[in-house]
Structure 1
């Protein structure tokens, strides 16, 4: 969206409230407005910058403000101030009269209760858990900005620009001087726009340099301000050495030593080494904001462990109440969903009865679709059988296909193909119409498609522009046909992770990250509560080993994993499971049991490159190949009594490395795959065929 083009962002019915100013800065003032019955904050340009400016100066000021609106409109994160839209007001230029008035944009944002500066000034002693929470929130917001594509540097981060909700959730605001740092652009800019006590040395040169380390330095000042509850004024840049009788330059750590000393011996002691790293004179030596996030979270967890037991118990009770509230919200949404499904089922049943009457009248015996029991019951029942139907051919031949389903739409990401142009494209197949649609590129490939809160998202993968592994979570907007940052990005970069949803939680596990030019396979797990739209959090449970390129499923309240590459890039067919509650419950409620004892190792699958059927209970695997590379068409179910896999049905053809998705409780689809070829690594283009998108349905037999 070009600056000044606010199509779709203009809000109607914004009413200005008669109350005092909420705040003001160098470029604008903030006041309260009402929009759709909600009190919001409005930011507009200072009238003095417009009314007494020449035409070209006024135009530059307005364009700068428009750029801020455009930049804020694409940001979505719980720790960055939420942009709602724009409305318009009018201003008059010097000597122009009524005919010379100019239409000016006003930025509408969520209303915040307080600023960090004001909170510190008003309260003599702020609880340490709140201090940890505030600085952690700020680090998460910075992590989102720095990992944005392209990265965004705030350049004026200070306690004045950290705002708080009524529940003390901290959010970064005032991106008026923030800059997008493009990969091919120089980082030198005009003279420093920030708050001097929070500015590192590289911004004070004749040709100041701005990059993510600038914000990391300012973040250290915010930590000092929050924990000491004092503004961290920097001391003089030089001091007199009585021995050498010369002036000696002070480091940035030495200039703030009095505030660092105040963190010694207390709960804030754990953060002091991190603050000193962030204050390093050399920008290259300051830690990445992602590392800062992780260290603060560890410090916060360690602080909670050191609290008296009665405080911990009260904290756990609060978290339990929050959890129960989330469950109630989910149950309400689930009930609404079930009502919609019953309406659709009623309509479908009426259509089936109409077809049955027509069939009887024509004296044709047909196999009628019924409201079948779940797929797994049908596979073990003698009254039902599996009928395969070819729905369509893939838009491009390939293997490494990843798939997800939303109602009657199947979203497919084609992996490796003999046709370069088709590699890693995103396609949508409409089961009702039988048509394929190619979606616009998401900006990162090798990511995993998944439905989060009814929205299609691509999670992780590699950036198309640089081929670097990424932590992006891109969400597809069906109205505008574009990819947006609706949900927050992951805490860590992940290429080809495992993804699954349980109630309101999205679980992302494993995947590959970069270590120089060498990929490193991960074993950690992140969880997002998409109903609350909160940030991702890492859990204390880890995978049984580092894994990449796998698809976990849920079965009987357990997370199940089969078929993955380990850290040595060796394909494995071991089957593991774990109670999903061990992953989704809040970190402070998880038991301290060692991760290795939580995972249950089941009997190995009979083939490599096999796929799990989502929500199958007991578990069902599809296809695969043996150690000689011979593909199978077997569909096998796990028999818990014999601890073995038993064949229950067959695919239409032998194939391995397929994608499987569940359309309903009696329908699955099997997509793509290799019809021959020993492994992915040595598969030739000639061994890849255009495999149909096949649908298996349960039909009643005579």
Structure 2
């Protein structure tokens, strides 16, 4: 890795630029020594990745534009982007404010793939987006403290002559320290990234942008950031990333152009309780006329008064950031301690309806996995969508987020060694593939090649081992079971499934692997649950299958709950039953125990368990594909 060296700031500032080998110094560079990646990934965005680096014994954050993003531009465009980025970095390095992330320097990576420099920044804890996603009951004083910090950062930027306009203020570009001090980041990056393309291209995150910035002749001034600030307040109070209709989508019969406030009415109406005190600030920030919006100075003065008022309260809304951090940092209960005894017969499930899946015709025989608190759904299909995609659901805020495009469809999906993984599937040309891909740094990368090409398979991960079972090779349904050991990078052949199955469900509960449901070679739905111990899998790479029990009501969706229970959801024949398998020392005496019913019929749905049971899509009572999302929690009957 190229190094950054400078003896003193004064020595450096005496020079306009110092270029040595493949790295560039810029004014106020305060790093000395070698920049070394620690291997810790801090975040991946749509255009850049953030990683932890060490220099002179201290930890910083590095931000690098994705190589694949750089490849989208012609050489001349990329050169223009590089020049703009260097100018913005140069300017950012001159800024000093406690509520603006400190820019420390740049370096050029050793890889020849990257033309643009890597930025080195002050390391922060997380973004406001991440903070709000993880916590559903943030005290108002904590929100006010964060908003006050942001308003002070904007006040500083707008106070320059000429004013510094961020142009892309959003919850993603507001970071917090471990003590919840908020700072604005990514100054000028939107401007730099748009420099390589059409000069009329829209800048910023569109749903946080005012009308004057979305015009054919956009206007970028301090009121733009104030408008975005209003959107940030809405996000923190509604916990919903806004989705807004374009003016062109509004019914022409209305003969009316909606104001920006009216377009966001759904999210403004979500403000309740003490959050309503922020409503006047939101409404003033979202004014269509930029001249009617308050200044950052006026906002900071107003929020400061609110902050002082709420700091006097003894209620939860008056809890300061330090007290709240002490509360949320208490060790969480294990899932086992939260989930009641499902065998007792006194447990029922309480259901609520989640935000519908983004696919109009539903998700049919898709699979779902949980990773870092989010649910990833893919591998299925619908009447008019071949599903070369994975959709991401965030249960903590009941919303759908980004969509991950996939090169294949009808793949098996799992989480292997902490990474989203797909196995097999069908290509856009109709070929059955044997590739296993992992999603890293915003793109799919080859992980391994299966001995057997297959589609419609099922896969699970246990420690370092990936297990792929069943499926179809384009000619017949398969029973082949293969395991890949990540420590040896080798495939091993296991005992076949007792019968060929495609679209089967596989679930690990404790040290047992269960396979159930699926479609047989003769197109019949399997009604048998097979089981194998995983006790010696890591060393022997072998599975021994046993007939455990017949499935209840032709169940086709199953999840593991608390590493203790196998739970089935719904079934063929319009059943909405939810049952749990009560195992015993001998499979012959295993039984099913009912724990309630789904609120609606969802047959062939995707299901996953985090701290809740999430059931997505499938077929409804009339056998039509649905995009219904049901979210269930366990309740102990009184």
TM-score (norm 1): 0.39
Which is higher, the Rg of structure 1 or of structure 2?
A: 1
Q: Scaled by the length of structure 2, what TM-score is found?
A: 0.43
